[in-house]
Structure 1
Amino acid sequence: MNDERPVIAVTLDFSILPGFVHWKDMFRGLVAADAVPLAIDCGRPRTDLEHLLSTVDGLLISGGSDVDPALYGGDTNDPLVTRINRDLDENELTALRIARTRGIPVLAICRGAQLTNVALGGTLYADLARDRQGETRHSRSEKALARALHLVTIEAGTLLAKWMGVDGTVAVNSQHHQGIRVLASSARAAAYTDDGLTEAFEIDDEDIVAVQWHPEVLWRTEAHALQLLRGFANRCAQSALGM
């Protein structure tokens, strides 16, 4: 695929798309980053993920509903944990496992970042406002995702900084009520809020970056968001060539 754009599988729960007002921008952002998105409905049982992921160059695990607390030792009766979809959890965990086995680059966003941390053995705050009460407000409206809402600090020398082409403080958007409580031991933090919450992480020696914000929505207004998508797409293309 020397002159072809990388094909990137995007995991979604198609049933929630009516409430996600920016979902089309996710696909437009990947196209703007010179990639070809392939949507996979992971909100229902699937048996074809091994085959599907054998045909792509990258995996984007997108945002969505809450991760099942049973997967990280949380309270399964927590009234603030809602819209659990075990099919979505299991499909995305399977997709992540396949991608890691095949060495396919991964960008995990919001819920995707939380699920990736859980898959690696980390834990989550079930509700940041109740359980952590930091200074940064993370849960906003879906429409508010179109603009930057708070600052994060990108760690220099990380894969995230390389893909974004920038380190230090940048402005990002936000729409999540859960967050990273204990970061998995195999991961390292790549970005923080001012009050110390891990906002991005990655795994040494693997092309995996997980972020809590939504570059797939913010790419129109923030150059670093589009550059992150481009950096990810470029790495997918290089990986497909064995580089």
Structure 2
Amino acid sequence: MPSAALVHIRDSRPHAPQYQDLLDALNGGAVTALRAAGWDVDLRPAAEQPLDTLLDAARRADVVVILGGEDIDPRAYGSTDQRPHETPYHVAADEAQLAVIRDTVAARRPLLGICRGMQLVNVALGGTLHQDIPGHRSSTGDPFVATTVRFDRPDPISAAGDLLCSHHQSLDRLGEGLDATARAVDGTVEAVRHRSLPIWAYQWHLEHPRSASRQLAPVMAALLAASGAARTA
């Protein structure tokens, strides 16, 4: 049975219970879909556990997944806050997840980033972010919008139905070794892969309960297979 360490931000947000409910639903979608596909799943809150515990969980997993959440502190990529509307940062989670990413990259182990997780992968590899862009989330009702992307290389979910986005930040300068593999119609980078390491990342929410069985589970299986092929090449 393959194993996955899913690293999110936190289990509790007393200041933002509705947002916590939203993220709980996304994380739950990931856990449910992966377990149904035969994965052993370990969900870990980066801001609420010691770094050594997080690193141990990541090192024991076949694939490490960095999940979504709030904006990344721009100091992590050498910038200042340029957003029109300020929202809280989770600096402890930023630092812990970046440490997990860098440890996973150094060991050349499979890594998947989703939404904020894709942005963290980019930052960990020296990239930067656009801090506010329009058109990639809804401001009323359901925050997810279906996006259309152009894939620049084969992808296990290129025909998997709606790609659900909910983000207002995006990749600017790509991190070292990353190539854009999918873009939205406005040019926004929506997926990246590393040229030589088993690192894939997506800006849309593969783990949404409406999508996870059709998108997240196939991507995880393909990433694990690709990493094995890379190790034996």
- Normalized against structure 1, the TM-score is what? 0.80
**Residue in 2 aligned with 1:69?**
74
After superposition, what is the alpha-carbon deviation per residue over 1:144-191, rounded to whole angstroms, capped at 9, x for unaligned? 54xx6120111125xxx2xx1647x96411011111122224211110
Q: 1:149 aligns with which of 136, 146, 149?
A: 146
CA contact (8 A) 1:15 1:43 kept: no
CA contact (8 A) 1:154 1:170 kept: no
What is the RMSD of the two structures over their aligned residues, measured on CA atoms?
2.7
SS of aligned partner of 2:28: helix
Q: Distance in 1 between matches of 2:162 and 2:152?
A: 14
Q: 2:4 aligns with which of 4, 8, 12?
A: 8
Q: Specify every segment of 5 or more residues in structure 1 that has no aligned partner in the other structure, as ranges.
A: 130-136
Aligned length: 221
Identity over aligned pairs, percent: 26
Q: Distance in 2 between matches of 1:50 and 1:173?
A: 30
Map of 1:111-190 to 2, 5 A cutoff?
A: 111-129=116-134, 137-140=135-138, 143-145=142-144, 149-157=146-154, 161=155, 164=156, 166=158, 171-190=162-181
Q: Distance in 1 between matches of 2:56 and 2:219?
A: 27
Q: Distance in 1 between matches of 2:22 and 2:162?
A: 25
Shift of 1:66: 0.6
Q: Specify every segment of 5 or more residues in structure 2 that has no aligned partner in the other structure, as ranges.
A: 14-19
Aligned amino acid, residue 146 of structure 2: L
CA contact (8 A) 2:30 2:212 kept: no
After superposition, what is the alpha-carbon deviation per residue over 1:168-216, rounded to whole angstroms, capped at 9, x for unaligned? x964110111111222242111100111111111111100001100111
Q: Distance in 2 between matches of 1:23 and 1:8?
A: 13
After superposition, what is the alpha-carbon deviation per residue over 1:11-53, rounded to whole angstroms, capped at 9, x for unaligned? 0122253342333111112223332110111023623133222
